[in-house]
Structure 1
Amino acid sequence: MDNGKTFSLSKDYYFKRYAWKMTLIPHFNPPLDLEMVVVIPAYKEPQLSTAVRSILNCQDVPCKVIILVIINAPEQSSLDDFNQNKKTYEEIKKIKDTNKISIQVVNIHLPQKKAGVGLARKIGLDEAARWFKKLNKSGILVCFDGDCQCSDNYLVAIYKAYKDQNLNAAILSYEHPLDLVSGIIPYELGLRYYTDGLRYSGYPNVHQTLGSCITINSDHYCKYGGMNTKKAGEDFYFLNKIVRKPRFAEIHEALVYPAARISDRVPFGTGRALIGYQINKEKILSAYNPSIFEDLKIFLTNLPQIIQGQSPGLPESIQSFLNSIDFYQKINKLSKNSNHLTSFFKQFYDWFDYFMILKLIHFLRNHFYPNIPLKIALTQLNKNYWKIKAFKNLTFHDQLIKIRELNRLDKQSI
């Protein structure tokens, strides 16, 4: 299911209609006490063993965990790529299980047309969900990547959050390893500027869409159609489906550390952005104009009046965008289908989702507010949102440390 719409499916129907049809590990019987599966897709990943050992080194492991590694490559990959995958597969096979954590690894070829991280991640998650179905219970599915590491409380923090809050899905906090050369510091600043800019605007349920940080209950995974098969951006599409559903949370107590390295394996994302930084530093050192978030804030603040038929004075930029998407016609339709405001706003944000927000931001950027230097954008958002003292005088590195602190504490300002 690759579209942005959400459905409510039974597990049986999901596996019949949408799941990957082939069982990855024939005759494998998952342990009866299995509670969590960490799925790691890996393509041309020479450091995969480091990612696996990072999970194995977790402290106070609270339950039975399987690390499911999906080493994969498109059918028409080069011999070098196949050899790298074979070498990696053999390395992972040699890693010993612990008392509570075991490893299952496969090395597969994917159909050329659909090969990519989305399909590989889906295959692993479907297999893990199938194990829990076989055990006649639900469990926790955890997404990870082959170039990531995690804090040593990673597994216990996930388990505790799910049990204490009865979660259906959650996303973990992240921090890239910092260096002053690769461009990762301004890159992560840009990510946090975007998400916190949306939070400042009043847009609800804002979370960073990193595939290696997503977790979900296996029943919930099936209910909403599972992972998509996008070659890149699968995390954005998937999170857009589940973020507004009940019992979704952000887990701040543990961290995922994505790699800060250049990579051409997917058309966009961290690795591709860092390649771009080597070629043109100005691109990663620019950001959306803060005026976009200011105008969005005015729009969202006035939304209750708009749906009641009033005509508050909206910025020209917002009014122009709303006209371009037949907004008022859509609002009238939603109002007719809603018995009360709670129902209306649920339907509204299902429509005015991450995709629509990105569409709005790009419209305003292209027609009203061109990108500006990242340093200026950060300073403006700090003035109105973070309110970090002496922020303007800090280096990018120190600004990021301060913003991370706020995000970890889930605070607006310090």
Structure 2
Amino acid sequence: MKTYEAIEQYLAHYAESEIREVAQLRLTQSDHVLVIPAFQETTQDLLRVIAGIDDHFLLIVVCNSGVHDTLTVRLHEELTAADDNVSVGNLSWIQSRNMLVVDRCTPTRYIPHKQGVGLARKIGSDIALALIHQRTVSQPVIHLTDADARLPHNYFRCLETTTIAAAWIYPFDHISHTVSNNDHERDAMALYEASVHYYAAGLRWAGSPYAYTTVGSAMAISPRHYAAVRGFPKRNAGEDFHILNKLRKTGAICSIPSPPAVPIGVSARLSTRVPIGTGTAVRQITSMSNPLQEFSFYDPQVFIELNRLITMATSRLMQPAPYDAPWIPSSSADILNTVVEQLNLGAALSRCSRQSSNPERRVRAFHDWFDGLKTLRLIHGLRDAGLKSLPFSELMQLPPFLNLSTGSSPADFSQKMRAYLHAAPVHEAT
């Protein structure tokens, strides 16, 4: 299906109702579009997100809550109090700020709790897609961030020289952009950030095509691919992970080279607003008496085993004829073999080998099945089967599988993992 038709079909059948309202507003032409879901945020914090950007862009703010929330309602009221506010249904366009504000925080407009931030991102992204499709926004990229982030001055421009992709991942930094006088809290932020970069770097070293960070405040999506996966999943947490997992099956996920990209400043404020995510993780780490000893990282051996699996599976699928033998000739005591049997990978490998006479297509079918979620299940299976997670101090004593000088602190380690992920250029197979 052609791009135009695919987007038309999505907008007609799967997009949220707000896209019909935006068609009634005569928005001015913009170069870029940025979507921010806002819950329990202040106007000051929201405007600080974009303070350093001088490009001409439309900002879509989705004020959302599941029940009455005074802070979110106040944000909506303050943003829409301008004299040049033009409203249609749930939407208000403030021309002087080139800001489109979506009301999903007042009675009859609440977002169902279980759909949470996922639906909020979907509403904003659907509107962005419609505006790109009708060419009110000229650059065909849906940019997304959060109301507590800090975007660098070249936020939009750093995509100009990067590769074509289904989505782009910005580098991010929890440390230098977060003000905290609490050493314990700073350690918690550094440990969490290190764990996020370490996991993605481990996947990249192992040869996984799902090797990227999944932070909702540091991503951008191709409109064509967004329509192909039918938008953001309507869930209260993990929506960024799940949409990227789907997007990777439609095209490459590009980790934007840094430089030229400057890391986005991502807040690691303590939070209980969603069951998983940065704020929740940092809150849990700060509750530990000794985070450097209690917070754990995956054993590097799990990524070595993942590399072994991917290498062997690829070798089998690249053979000229379908392969029916057991996927890996090892004893039942082998830890990888045990976990692979639990995932029923052998049967999947056999199915993939029969899907096409083209070896490259068979490999692609395998990676579509063995996706980011199944990769995480494999790693958890390896951990539970004996490759126990390690505290940071023990991780630093092991030979680094990335062949990097790891440094002595979580912050230093995280920066090196980030540099590895965002080295230029990385072109992944699509």
**TM-score, with normalisation over the residues of structure 2?**
0.81
- Work out whether residues 174 and 258 of structure 1, in 8 Å CA contact, stay in contact via their aligned partners in 2: yes
- Pick one of 280, 287, 295 that aligns with 2:305: 295
Shift of 1:247: 5.2
The question of 1:87 aligning with 2:87 is answered no
- Work out whether residues 143 and 212 of structure 1, in 8 Å CA contact, stay in contact via their aligned partners in 2: yes
Q: Aligned Cα RMSD in Å?
A: 3.1
- Work out whether residues 53 and 153 of structure 2, in 8 Å CA contact, stay in contact via their aligned partners in 1: yes
Shift of 1:289: 1.5
Q: Could you say if the C-alpha distance between residues 167 and 194 of structure 1 is closer, same or farther in structure 2, counting changes exceeding 3 Å?
A: closer
Name 1:19's counterpart in structure 2. 15
Shift of 1:94: 6.5
Aligned to 1:149, the other structure's residue is in SS state: coil
| Aligned ranges 1:13-412 → 2 under 5 Å | 13-23=9-19, 25=22, 27-31=24-28, 33-46=29-42, 48-59=43-54, 61=55, 64-74=56-66, 76-77=67-68, 81=69, 83-93=70-80, 102-109=98-105, 110-135=110-135, 139-158=140-159, 160-161=160-161, 165-178=163-176, 180-182=183-185, 183-246=188-251, 248-252=253-257, 253-280=261-288, 282=291, 285-307=295-317, 308=319, 309=323, 311-313=328-330, 316-380=334-398, 383-388=400-405, 391=406, 394-410=408-424
- Work out whether residues 138 and 219 of structure 1, in 8 Å CA contact, stay in contact via their aligned partners in 2: no
Shift of 1:290: 1.6
Q: Could you say if the C-alpha distance between residues 327 and 132 of structure 1 is closer, same or farther in structure 2, counting changes exceeding 3 Å?
A: same
Q: Could you say if the C-alpha distance between residues 167 and 203 of structure 1 is closer, same or farther in structure 2, counting changes exceeding 3 Å?
A: closer
Bigger shift: residues 98-107 or 367-376: 98-107
- Work out whether residues 49 and 91 of structure 1, in 8 Å CA contact, stay in contact via their aligned partners in 2: no
Which whole-Å deviations, capped at 9, do the CAs of 1:282-320 have from their partners, x for residues lacking one? 586211122211211222222234445464448812111
Shift of 1:56: 4.2
- Work out whether residues 271 and 280 of structure 2, in 8 Å CA contact, stay in contact via their aligned partners in 1: yes
- Work out whether residues 9 and 223 of structure 1, in 8 Å CA contact, stay in contact via their aligned partners in 2: no
- Work out whether residues 173 and 254 of structure 1, in 8 Å CA contact, stay in contact via their aligned partners in 2: yes
Q: Could you say if the C-alpha distance between residues 189 and 88 of structure 1 is closer, same or farther in structure 2, counting changes exceeding 3 Å?
A: same
Aligned to 2:146, the other structure's residue is in SS state: coil
Q: Could you say if the C-alpha distance between residues 206 and 284 of structure 1 is closer, same or farther in structure 2, counting changes exceeding 3 Å?
A: farther
Distance 2:252 2:201 in 1: 21
* Amino acid across the alignment from 1:175: D
Gaps of 5+ in 2: 85-92
- Work out whether residues 198 and 417 of structure 2, in 8 Å CA contact, stay in contact via their aligned partners in 1: no
- Work out whether residues 225 and 250 of structure 2, in 8 Å CA contact, stay in contact via their aligned partners in 1: no
- Work out whether residues 34 and 142 of structure 2, in 8 Å CA contact, stay in contact via their aligned partners in 1: yes
Distance 1:100 1:243 in 2: 38
Aligned to 2:256, the other structure's residue is in SS state: strand
Distance 2:363 2:9 in 1: 29
Aligned to 1:170, the other structure's residue is in SS state: strand
Distance 2:294 2:152 in 1: 28
Q: Could you say if the C-alpha distance between residues 261 and 17 of structure 1 is closer, same or farther in structure 2, counting changes exceeding 3 Å?
A: same
Aligned to 2:17, the other structure's residue is in SS state: coil
- Work out whether residues 306 and 312 of structure 1, in 8 Å CA contact, stay in contact via their aligned partners in 2: no
Percent of aligned positions that are identical: 25
Q: Could you say if the C-alpha distance between residues 327 and 106 of structure 1 is closer, same or farther in structure 2, counting changes exceeding 3 Å?
A: closer
Distance 1:399 1:148 in 2: 22
Name 2:88's counterpart in structure 1. none
Distance 2:282 2:341 in 1: 37
- Work out whether residues 151 and 264 of structure 2, in 8 Å CA contact, stay in contact via their aligned partners in 1: yes
Distance 1:338 1:168 in 2: 24
